[in-house]
Amino acid sequence: MNSDNSLFESIDKDDVVGAQYLLQEGIEITDKHLQKAIQLSPKIAKLILTHYIPKNLDLALTMAACQGLFDLSKILLEMGAKPNSEQDKNVNCFDVSLYRYYRVYYRESKGFVLYATMYSCNIDLLKLMISFGIDLSVNNNMAINIFSEECYGAGKETETEKVTQFIQEAWKIITEHHQYSQLDIDNAFINAVVRGISAYTRFILRYISTEHSKIIKELFDSEYGNEVHLHGERTILFCLYELNFENNHKQLTLIANEIAMKCNFIYSYEIIKKLLRYQFNITNYLKHFMLLALLNNDVKLIKLLREHLDLTKFLDQIATDITEKGSI
């Protein structure tokens, strides 16, 4: 049977029975059939692989990984797909648009499969790729930097529980299989801040070096300085949030304050409103916030803080500080 649009039509409709009939009748198959099936009908893609060996196994693997398709990725790996292969980023691989795949494809030629795997947020898929020898150090330590890019790609802008869980589990697995330097980890933190990825910023804070001031300075002096200013508010929020759960309060406080100062940032009405709305434990900061509000004659902020601050205790504390310390 000659190749025609019949198989494409079955794929478009996710018609597994129809596709199975066509394959049994010996319809001519091409890589484009497989690529479209990976996107639209994984079940048909698996059927195709029982009748056809793709000319470009590595490309098919990248597409399957990007979709988070564990079973299909395993089949392709067992057929000989290479997780560390170089791929031509200019190849016209299929006719239909696949946004998630293009995010992978317009990158360096190495690390495509790793990039796609991390993007999928599928922890079992990551384990599978590691078992087949995927390179976790490729493209300037992509594996730990990619959290801050691809876990929040198309459809993942919201910090879902699934993504946060993936970050925690994947970090443990990756660092068990590859030894990253402290500089690598610090750079990953910078990457996260630059992109405003608060969940990953919050997570990696516990691993960065104690020379946090130097790291923050590098952030603002780098080519990404403007982006850091844009995302500074979000990063500060989550640095403060982390204070409630981590033991190393002093370091995290300094980091939050350093970012705030570099952003020329005063804890504004909107920031404090968010902190209170998300029920962050900021009791220890309320006095500081009220003083800032008074100094800046910020009536709106003063009114907000009065709802959460015992003014009698606040004034007594100020009086005590002045009496005992000579300052507030």
pLDDT digit string (tens) for 140-168? 666 777 665 545 443 444 446 777 788 88
**Is 203:197 a contact under the CB 8 Å cutoff?**
no
pLDDT digit string (tens) for 287-316? 777 877 887 788 888 888 888 877 777 777
**Long-range contacts from 292-297, C-beta under 8 angstroms, 24+ separation:** 292/266, 292/267, 296/266
- Give backbone dihedrals phi and psi of 148, rounded to 5 degrees, phi first: -80, -5
Angle in degrees, CA 192, 195, 198, rounded to 5: 60
33: part of which helix (H) or strand (E)? helix 31-40
Token code pair at residue 57: 């196994």
Structure confidence at residue 208 as a pLDDT band (50, 70, 90): confident
d(CA 42, CA 29): 16
pLDDT score, position 113 = 84
Higher pLDDT among residues 19 and 230, named by residue: 19
Higher pLDDT among residues 281 and 180, named by residue: 180
Domain ranges of the chain: 1-55, 56-156, 181-265, 276-328
Tell me if the domain spanning 56-156 has CATH number 1.10.8: no
Give the torsion sign (CA, 9, 14, 17, 22).
positive
